[in-house]
Amino acid sequence: MTEPELKRSRKAGLPPGTAVHIGERRAEAMVITRYSYGAQSFDEHPQVTVDQCAFPVGLERTTWVSIQGLHQVDELQRLATGYGLHPLVVEDIVNTHQRPKVEDYGDYLFIVLKALYPEGDNYEELVAEQVSLVLGKNFVLSFQEGPQDAFVHVRERLRNGKGRLRSSGSDYLAYTLIDAVVDHYFPILERVGEDIEQLEDRLVADPGPDTLPTLHRLKRAMIVLRRSVWPVRELVAHLERGESSLVKQSTLVYLRDVYDHTIQVIEATETLRDMLAGMLDIYLSSLSNRLNETMKVLAIIATLFIPLTFLAGVYGMNFKYMPELSWPWGYPAVLGIMAVVAGCMLWFFRRKKWL
């Protein structure tokens, strides 16, 4: 896997603000859903077109336009023009290699996040999908790369009308969406943590040659996680400082809560990294231990039999005058000597704690 942010060269040389979709071209069509709600009412318009998402008037209702799929750049640009977005914002939405950030354009805030999904069921390979949010006075636009939806629970809560969501404005919706993305990190951390523990158990019980690549893959998953989460911390801290008039005072305490969650994710990530670093030490010393083990077996066998073989060799010599050869007790005597030598050796090994 080449790191995604390296793959930008397709775009080099174009003027800034040129929106070119960079990212894996997911085949599905762009899906736009429009939600429009107030304290009393709630409308959901699935599968609308760009023309049905005109700039909302009136502050009493909040509009959420959820866009999934980013490759129809022309459509996106029409939408953006309707909402008065800066060309650089559209460029950043479709070029999905941004790092999480928040940018204040006065009339609206532009927020970039990374939602993490496992590659299929494999939590050692994490896919980071870009989630872009545009928070205006009475609307939120959300842009997701593919069909995987980090906002399932938010849509549900909007429909149910439980909690503060419907009665609060667009800033609370934006908070809810950010929270949904951050909350998504916890099960991933949990699963990666379990993988790490399993690996640790295997490392102690039976370290094979495949443990190191697994270790490495987990390390890299940690890097992806870390890179997705660290900037979110700054982002939320920025929002929480309450510098933008778009974020109401009452929402700040919720942002502090997201901030706490982000810190928790970061600490857990650092802990897992520490554990992975420690496991490399264990692996290397286990390699060393096994070499020691092998060498001991070899040393014991060789040290035991080499002197005996020498003795046998001596009495295999063909000299004419070797008085021992004709002694009747010569053979048993030599066997006896051999047994004594072997005994001494075994005693020596035991003293060395090799046996």
Closest separation between CB of residue 134 and a second copy, Å?
A: 15
Closest separation between CB of residue 57 and a second copy, Å?
A: 27
Segment 60 to 119, residues that bind a second copy, using CB under 8 A: 86, 88, 91-92, 97-99, 101, 103, 105
In this chain, which stretch among 37-45, 77-85, 129-137, 190-198 interacts with a second copy, using CB under 8 A?
Answer: 190-198
Q: List beta partners, residue 59.
A: none
Q: Is 241 in the site for a second copy (CB under 8 A)?
A: no
Which position among 48, 301, 344, 355 is part of the footprint of a second copy (CB under 8 A)? Answer: 301
Site string for a second copy, 307-336 (x = CB under 8 A): xxxx-xxxxxxxxxxx-xxxxx-xx--xx-
Cβ proximity to a second copy, 75 vs 183, nearer residue: 183
Amino acid 101 reads: K
Site string for a second copy, 130-159 (x = CB under 8 A): ----------------------xx--xx--
Q: Is 161 in the site for a second copy (CB under 8 A)?
A: no
Nearest to 188 by CA among 157, 229, 155, 154: 229
Considering CB under 8 A, how many residues would be counted as binding a second copy?
A: 119
Return the ∠ at Cα 237 (arms to 231 and 242), rounded to 5°: 140
Cβ proximity to a second copy, 78 vs 273, nearer residue: 273
Which position among 129, 145, 179, 240 is part of the footprint of a second copy (CB under 8 A)? Answer: 179
In this chain, which stretch among 36-44, 124-132, 135-143, 219-227 interacts with a second copy, using CB under 8 A?
Answer: 219-227
Q: Is 15 in the site for a second copy (CB under 8 A)?
A: yes
Closest separation between CB of residue 140 and a second copy, Å?
A: 17
Q: Are 256 and 233 in contact (CB under 8 A)?
A: no
CA–CA gap between residue 199 and residue 207 (Å, rounded): 9
Cβ proximity to a second copy, 63 vs 262, nearer residue: 262
CA–CA gap between residue 30 and residue 33 (Å, rounded): 10
Segment 248 to 287, residues that bind a second copy, using CB under 8 A: 253-254, 256-257, 260, 263-264, 267-268, 271-272, 274-275, 278, 280-285, 287
Closest separation between CB of residue 160 and a second copy, Å?
A: 9
In this chain, which stretch among 4-12, 45-53, 58-66, 123-131 interacts with a second copy, using CB under 8 A?
Answer: 4-12
CA 166 to chain CA centroid, Å, is: 33
Closest separation between CB of residue 216 and a second copy, Å?
A: 6
